[in-house]
């Protein structure tokens, strides 16, 4: 690769790092090109761009962008899912986690959420959450909390929402309280004297059904293919 091409890629990657508060890092070694293309398509649908770039160029871009915390995650074949401002980190994490479960060769290393470093365990935990907008809506309607706590739920970074919930549940348990149950339907009118003589029908509550709760190993991409992958990802 020509020097000017490398400089262009570093510059473009640095700009992307500066503008991305949320990104996920994975070791893609062993995935086939069709599998990488499929993963890239799924991530695009969640507002994330999956890029494969040579590590030396990624390190230079991270230093140029002032994102040095990313350097610890760059070790071996590295792919980065850059999550757009309108993208959903939870959805992107779920896609990566599902792919890792289907293909043992994909390894999640961690990432950056709200600019802070997160571990692979935290990314997998994030993958279990519903989409961020749905999560905040559920919290607002299901958690009995003072107004200041509700405001905190909406303003807290996504990675902190689970901790906020856990803290609130612990507080309620210590106070001997419980989370509010859904409002029951209004009771039916009392039966007349004539109706009382007939045998009442038993009320049956339906129990919610429990929901039921992957290709050949790939060869590593060479360095030239890695830069091509970055360009094809929309860099």
Residue 2's pLDDT band (boundaries 50, 70, 90)? confident
> Cα–Cα distance between 127 and 95 in angstroms, integer?
8
List the domain boundaries for the chain.
3-128+225-232, 132-180
> Cα–Cα distance between 18 and 67 in angstroms, integer?
8
pLDDT tens readout for residues 141-183 = 555 555 555 555 555 565 565 566 566 666 666 766 554 444 4
* Confidence at residue 182, expressed as pLDDT on a 0 to 100 scale: 44
**pLDDT of 82 higher than 70:** yes
* Confidence at residue 137, expressed as pLDDT on a 0 to 100 scale: 66
Q: Smallest Cα–Cα separation from 122: which of 156, 160, 152?
A: 160
* Confidence at residue 228, expressed as pLDDT on a 0 to 100 scale: 53
- Of residues 123 and 155, more confidently modeled: 123
pLDDT tens readout for residues 182-204 = 444 445 455 444 444 444 444 33
- Of residues 20 and 36, more confidently modeled: 36
184-222: burial string, b at 16+ Cβ within 10 Å, e else: eeeeeeeeeeeeeeeeeeeeeeeeeeeeeeeeeebeebe
Residue 129's pLDDT band (boundaries 50, 70, 90)? confident
pTM of the model: 0.60
> Cα–Cα distance between 129 and 217 in angstroms, integer?
30
Residue 11's pLDDT band (boundaries 50, 70, 90)? very high
Q: Do 188 and 153 form a contact (C-beta atoms < 8 A)?
A: no
pLDDT more than 90, % of the chain:
41
The whole-number average pLDDT for the span 111-132 is: 88
* Confidence at residue 233, expressed as pLDDT on a 0 to 100 scale: 57
**Which stretches of 128-232 are DSSP H helices?**
132-142, 147-155, 158-174, 193-196, 223-232
- Of residues 3 and 209, more confidently modeled: 3
* Confidence at residue 104, expressed as pLDDT on a 0 to 100 scale: 87
The whole-number average pLDDT for the span 195-222 is: 42
Tell me whether residue 166 is exposed, middle or buried, using C-beta atoms within 10 angstroms of its C-beta: 0 to 12, 13 to 18, 19 or more. Answer: exposed
Categorise residue 76: left if φ over 0, alpha if ψ from -120 to 50, beta otherwise.
left
Is 3-128+225-232 assigned to CATH 3.30.70.1730?
Answer: yes
Residue 216's pLDDT band (boundaries 50, 70, 90)? very low
Structure tokens at 161: 């929402």
Mean of per-residue pLDDT scores for the chain: 74
Distances (CA, A) of 121 to 108, 130, 158, 174, 217: 9, 17, 15, 28, 24
77-96: burial string, b at 16+ Cβ within 10 Å, e else: bbbbbbbeeebbbbbbbbbb
């Amino acid at each position: 690769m020509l020097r000017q091409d490398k400089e262009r890629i570093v510059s473009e990657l640095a700009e992307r790092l500066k503008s991305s508060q949320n990104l996920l890092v994975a070791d893609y070694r062993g995935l086939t090109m069709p599998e990488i293309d499929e993963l890239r398509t799924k991530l695009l649908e969640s507002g994330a761009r999956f890029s494969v770039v040579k590590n030396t160029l990624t390190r230079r871009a991270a230093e140029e962008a002032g994102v040095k915390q990313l350097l610890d995650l760059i070790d071996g074949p590295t792919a980065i899912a850059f999550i757009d401002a309108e993208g959903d980190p939870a959805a992107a994490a779920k896609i990566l986690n599902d792919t890792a479960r289907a293909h043992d060769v994909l390894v999640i290393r961690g990432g950056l959420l709200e600019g802070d470093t997160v571990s692979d365990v935290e990314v997998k935990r994030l993958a279990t959450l519903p989409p961020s907008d749905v999560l905040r809506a559920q919290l607002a309607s299901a958690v009995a909390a003072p107004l200041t706590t509700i405001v905190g739920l909406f303003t807290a970074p996504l990675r902190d929402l689970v901790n906020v919930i856990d803290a609130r549940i612990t507080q309620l348990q210590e106070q001997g309280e419980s989370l509010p149950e859904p409002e029951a339907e209004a009771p039916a009118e009392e039966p007349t004297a004539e109706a009382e003589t007939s045998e009442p029908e038993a009320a049956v509550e339906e129990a919610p059904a429990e929901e039921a709760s992957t290709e050949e190993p790939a060869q590593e991409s060479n360095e030239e293919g890695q830069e091509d992958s970055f360009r094809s990802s929309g860099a």
